[in-house]
Structure 1
């Protein structure tokens, strides 16, 4: 018996970490389907903010685990880190969170040069 229910597209997720003494953020987890769901679940459990960007995730999926993000993504990831900082500041002060940065074209800076 065939299931005629529409199938949800296969979800992908990437987790990054950044330490102040590190030159760039690193990819610490990535996956599709159930692995992606688990990454998102663990992030939610630990209060980690999640930003959805299919374009950015697609580019980050090409980065090997425990490797730094490529220089072409530095600006986009820096904007996300700044956004997360502002979210945390807003939460502490009771202010509304800022809007998420536009990451729909993560390589826009490369294209403009």
Structure 2
């Protein structure tokens, strides 16, 4: 039997190019924790991109871990999405 309502997962990233060589995982969780992460992002106007496969991989990291090199391309796509969303919001 499959669950009609899979448990939500969420991850939050931060990238300060002046201080970091790679993005850092700032929050990660499932269920209620994921809901809280999503709510905080929404409340602060942070664009949200849904990518269950990437969130699953990020969920294997510890908070404050830098993103490993093998995830750079996928994470770069997320930051490109955010950049585009920010530009559209500014227009």
Distance 1:33 1:7 in 2: 14
Matches within 5 A, 1:59-98: 59-93=57-91
Q: Return the TM-score normalized by structure 1.
A: 0.73
Q: RMSD value over aligned CA atoms?
A: 1.3
Runs of 4+ aligned residues of structure 1 deviating over 4 Å after TM superposition are none
Q: Return the TM-score normalized by structure 2.
A: 0.89
Structure 1: gaps (5+ residues): 1-5, 94-113
Give aligned pairs, total: 88
Alignment partner of 1:41 is 2:35: no
Contact 2:10 2:55 in 1 (8 A): yes
Identify which of 48, 51, 54 aligns with 1:53: 51
What whole-Å deviation, never above 9, does each CA across 1:50-76 have from its counterpart, x for those lacking one?
A: 111110000000111100011001111
What whole-Å deviation, never above 9, does each CA across 1:80-104 have from its counterpart, x for those lacking one?
A: 21221122112222xxxxxxxxxxx
Q: What secondary structure sits across from 2:77 in the alignment?
A: helix
Alignment partner of 1:15 is 2:25: no
Distance 1:8 1:84 in 2: 27
Distance 2:80 2:7 in 1: 29
Name the structure, 1 or 2, with higher relative contact order (CA <8 Å, separation 6+): 2
